[in-house]
Amino acid sequence: SQQGEEDPQALSIQEGENATMNCSYKTSINNLQWYRQNSGRGLVHLILIRSNEREKHSGRLRVTLDTSKKSSSLLITASRAADTASYFCATYDTGGFKTIFGAGTRLFVKA
């Protein structure tokens, strides 16, 4: 079953702009992860944020987590055409050890 819901479902921006994607989930979690997937390819792990963390950075990526609202956001700054991909949040819940994926956001960065 799906855990997270993401918005927007699709996002089209110009190169150089920032892209923000949001994810909401339903249960208590140990951590939340963001992945990237290029069309027809496997998943690339981007960043993991634990339930006791509020913000995390990795290069041009910034992730926030609000456990009170059960939501997370992924910000990609100074986007590049190569950032064009689908982005998924995934939660690892406290009730088990499964990772459940959100619906994903398809990002298109125009050069």
Residue among 40 and 95 whose Cβ is closer to other proteins: 40
* Residue with smaller CB distance to other proteins, 20 or 30: 30
Q: Is 2 in the site for other proteins (CB under 8 A)?
A: yes
Q: What is the CA radius of gyration of the chain?
A: 13
Q: Mask: binding to other proteins, 91-110, rule CB under 8 A, as x and -?
A: -x----xxxxxxxx-x----
Residue 87 in contact with other proteins, rule: CB under 8 A:
no
Q: Which of 43, 60, 64, 71 binds other proteins (CB under 8 A)?
A: 43
d(Cα 91, Cα 69) in Å, to the nearest integer? 14
**Taking the complex as a whole, how short is the minimal distance between the CB of residue 16 and other proteins, in angstroms?**
26
Q: Residues 20-39: x/- map of binding to other proteins (CB under 8 A)? A: ----------xx-x-x----
Q: Determine, following the binding rule CB under 8 A, whether residue 59 of this chain makes contact with other proteins.
A: no
3-state per-residue secondary structure call for the chain: CCCCEEECCEEEEECCCCEEEEEECCCCEEEEEEEEECCCCCEEEEEEEECCCCEEEECCEEEEEECCCCEEEEEECCCCHHHCEEEEEEEEECCCCCEEECCCEEEEEEC
Q: Residue 91 CB, nearest distance to other proteins (Å)? A: 11
